[in-house]
Structure 1
Amino acid sequence: MKSKFILSALILSACVFQACKNTNRTSNDPDSLSTTMVDSAEMAKADSTGMHNIDTASFIQKAAIGGMMEVELGKLAQEKAKNSKVKEFGAMMVKDHTKVNEELKKLAQSSDVTLATSYPLKLKAQIEELKILTGDAFDKAYMKLMVEDHEKTIALFKNAAKSSDVNISKFAAKTLPSLEAHNKTAKGILASLK
């Protein structure tokens, strides 16, 4: 009886260990990414353990999807925004994130990571919601999304800047000041729209 209990405990432990090990794998399926950025549980785990070693493929995928969204929504803002500051912000997003996206493509190639070509369902829905809006409603919703998205992106890039992958940490550290400037500008524009 005692040996059956020990054997059962060992099997259960092995299953739990394997399940925990499998949860750290990265999927290249964009619909499996719940958001463009690192979720708060992942950030809390990284901060509490002192481990800031985000998976290279995960970072590249999340950053690429976020960058792709910034460019698409920037173009949309240039077309639909009523406020000239919102239009200018959209143009800046297209210009700056197109440049970052090109650098990210090179990083993905050197890291042997295949980039997603479509958005997760949640982001598709957000983009479609913005496309329906017009005038002041569009301006406010777009700028609110830009503040929220840049805050998540900054958290992702700060974490990646501490990665043991030298290429990831250099890229993230180099890109962070621009992201922080975008966020500051977005907050200012959003505040002026209220």
Structure 2
Amino acid sequence: MNRLIVGVALGALALSACNKSKNSDTTTVERNVLIDNGAAAATTASAADQAFVEAAAASNMVEIESSKLALTKATLPSIRTYAQMMIDDHGKASTDLAAAAAGAGATVPTALPADQQTKLDALGKLSGAAFDKQYLADQKAGHVATLAKLKDYGASAPAGGLKDFANATAPVVQKHLDTLEKIK
């Protein structure tokens, strides 16, 4: 009989715990939704912030996609090594940008602008030394332009996650340019 009472008591505790856990989860989810909705409603990106996010996202996307091509098409091992660094570093930058953009209420695009997609498509049609030469030229031009945008935005933007992103990313882009100079 004592075993029966203990068994019933344990069963009741288990059901109570399940119900409490379910209610806690629901409350947490509801609270998170309210916080997320409130934050989204309260924060809207300025035109300058949105333009910066779009430019930075496009830069990351083109670097990643062109470097994926370089992993298979480049003739020099140093270019393939550089390409992997681009994929890794710009992948991280994309993640960091998304977090900073969300905090600023900016939208991160998921597709390349048409002009950059056209250049990427043209690069994909090249092979051998012609691919190597164009990839390196595109990398240099892209990184010079991106570095200028990061420095300008970092110097003029109001304090916040996007400014922090720009200032933290600029030295990485400079490292990419320095590495490019060493590829022969």
TM-score normalised over the length of structure 2: 0.72
What's the offset of the Cα at 1:74? Answer: 1.2
2:175 is aligned with 1:181: yes
Which of 119, 133, 142 in structure 2 is aligned with 1:140? 133
**Whole-angstrom CA distance in 2 between matches of 1:94 and 1:150:** 14
- The Cα RMSD (Å) is 1.3
Q: Is 166-175 or 126-135 further displaced after alignment?
A: 166-175
What SS does the corresponding residue of 1:63 show, helix, strand or coil? helix
Which of 103, 116, 126 in structure 2 is aligned with 1:123? 116
Greater fraction of residues in helix: 2
**Whole-angstrom CA distance in 2 between matches of 1:116 and 1:168:** 15
Which of 101, 118, 125 in structure 2 is aligned with 1:108? 101
What's the offset of the Cα at 1:90? Answer: 0.5
Match in the other structure for 1:155: 148
1:56/1:168 contact within 8 Å kept: yes
**Whole-angstrom CA distance in 2 between matches of 1:109 and 1:170:** 14
- What residue ranges of structure 2 are gaps of 5+ in the alignment? 1-45
Provide, for residues 33-66 of structure 1, a one-character-per-residue CA deviation record: whole Å limited to 9, x for no partner.
xxxxxxxxxxxxxxxxxxxxxx111111110111
**Whole-angstrom CA distance in 1 between matches of 2:140 and 2:159:** 28
TM-score normalised over the length of structure 1: 0.68
2:69/2:124 contact within 8 Å kept: yes
Q: Provide the identity percentage.
A: 29
Greater Rg, structure 1 or structure 2? 2
Which of 75, 79, 82 in structure 1 is aligned with 2:75? 82
In the alignment of these two chains, the number of paired residues is 138
Aligned AA (2:160): V
1:56/1:165 contact within 8 Å kept: no
